[in-house]
Amino acid sequence: MLTDLTIAQARDGLRAKEFSAVDLTMAHLHAIEKLNTRLNAFITVSHSQALDQARAADAALAAGEARALTGIPLAIKDLFCTAGVRTTAGSKILGPFVPPYESTVTANLLRDGAVLLGKTNLDEFAMGSSNMTSAYGPVENPWKRKQDETAVLVPGGSSGGSAASVAARLAMGATGTDTGGSIRQPASFCGLVGVKPTYGRCSRWGVVAFASSLDHPGPFARTVRDSAILLGSMAGHDPKDSTSAAVPVPDFEAACARGVKGLRIGVPREYHSDGMPAEIDALWQQGLDWLRAAGAEIVDVSLPYTKYGLATYYIVAPAEASSNLARYDGVRFGARENGEDLRDLYERTRAEGFGPEVRRRVLIGTYVLSAGYYDAYYLRAQKIRALILKDFTDAFAHVDALLTPTAPSAAFAQGENMDDPIKMYLNDLFTVPANLAGVPAASVPVGLDANGLPLGLQVIGKPFDEETVFAVSATLEQAAGFTALPAIRAGG
Partner 1 sequence: MSLDHATVRRIASLARIRVEEHEVEPLRNELNGILGWIEQLNEVDVTGIAPLTGATNMAMAMRADVVTDGGYADKVLSNAPERIGDFYVVPKVVE
Is the Cβ of residue 189 or residue 378 nearer to partner 1 in the bound state? 378
CA-based nearest residue to 49, from 91, 83, 95, 8 = 83
C-alpha count within 13 angstroms, C-beta hemisphere, residue 460: 29
To the query of whether residue 77 is one of the catalytic residues in this protein, the response is yes
Catalytic residue, chosen from 20, 46, 77, 227, is 77
Is the Cβ of residue 36 or residue 203 nearer to partner 1 in the bound state? 203
Q: Report in angstroms how near the CB of residue 491 gets to partner 1 at its nearest.
A: 40
Is the Cβ of residue 143 or residue 378 nearer to partner 1 in the bound state? 378
Angle between helices 309-324 and 356-369 (to 10 degrees): 100
Q: Report in angstroms how near the CB of residue 52 gets to partner 1 at its nearest.
A: 20
How far apart are the C-alpha atoms of 59 and 236, rounded to whole Å? Answer: 26
Is the Cβ of residue 143 or residue 199 nearer to partner 1 in the bound state? 199
Q: In whole angstroms, how far apart are CA 81 and each of 90, 105, 206, 224, 435?
A: 12, 9, 5, 26, 22
How far apart are the C-alpha atoms of 69 and 106, rounded to whole Å? Answer: 12
Q: In whole angstroms, how far apart are CA 250 and each of 199, 287, 395, 441, 492?
A: 16, 26, 24, 16, 37
- 301's enclosing H/E stretch is strand 297-301
What pairing do the DSSP bridges indicate for beta strands 454-461 and 401-405?
antiparallel
Cα distance from N-terminal residue to C-terminal residue, the chain: 10
Torsion of CA 268, 270, 274, 280, to 10 degrees: -30
Q: Report in angstroms how near the CB of residue 379 gets to partner 1 at its nearest.
A: 6
Q: Report in angstroms how near the CB of residue 382 gets to partner 1 at its nearest.
A: 3
List 403's β-bridge partners, or say none: 459
Spatial contact of 440 and 198, defined as CB atoms under 8 Å apart:
yes
Q: Report in angstroms how near the CB of residue 316 gets to partner 1 at its nearest.
A: 9
- Kindly report whether the peptide bond that precedes residue 158 is cis, defined as omega within 30 degrees of 0: yes
Is the Cβ of residue 210 or residue 377 nearer to partner 1 in the bound state? 377
Q: Report in angstroms how near the CB of residue 337 gets to partner 1 at its nearest.
A: 9
Number of Cβ within 10 Å of residue 371's Cβ equals: 5
Catalytic residue, chosen from 134, 158, 165, 443, is 158
To the query of whether residue 158 is one of the catalytic residues in this protein, the response is yes
Q: Report in angstroms how near the CB of residue 184 gets to partner 1 at its nearest.
A: 16
Show the DSSP H helices in 238-341 as ranges: 252-255, 278-293, 309-324
Binding residues (CB under 8 A) for partner 1: these are 96-98, 100-101, 199-200, 213-214, 239, 242-243, 245-246, 305, 308, 311-312, 314-315, 322, 326, 329, 331-334, 336, 338, 341-348, 350-351, 354, 359-360, 362-364, 366-367, 370, 373, 376-377, 379-387, 389, 420-422, 435-438, 463
How far apart are the C-alpha atoms of 396 and 438, rounded to whole Å? Answer: 13
Spatial contact of 353 and 97, defined as CB atoms under 8 Å apart:
no
Is the Cβ of residue 28 or residue 204 nearer to partner 1 in the bound state? 204
Is the Cβ of residue 171 or residue 437 nearer to partner 1 in the bound state? 437
To the query of whether residue 212 is one of the catalytic residues in this protein, the response is no
Q: Report in angstroms how near the CB of residue 282 gets to partner 1 at its nearest.
A: 29
Is the Cβ of residue 282 or residue 311 nearer to partner 1 in the bound state? 311
How far apart are the C-alpha atoms of 37 and 140, rounded to whole Å? Answer: 10
Catalytic residue, chosen from 46, 162, 165, 182, is 182
Which residues have a catalytic role annotated?
77, 158, 182
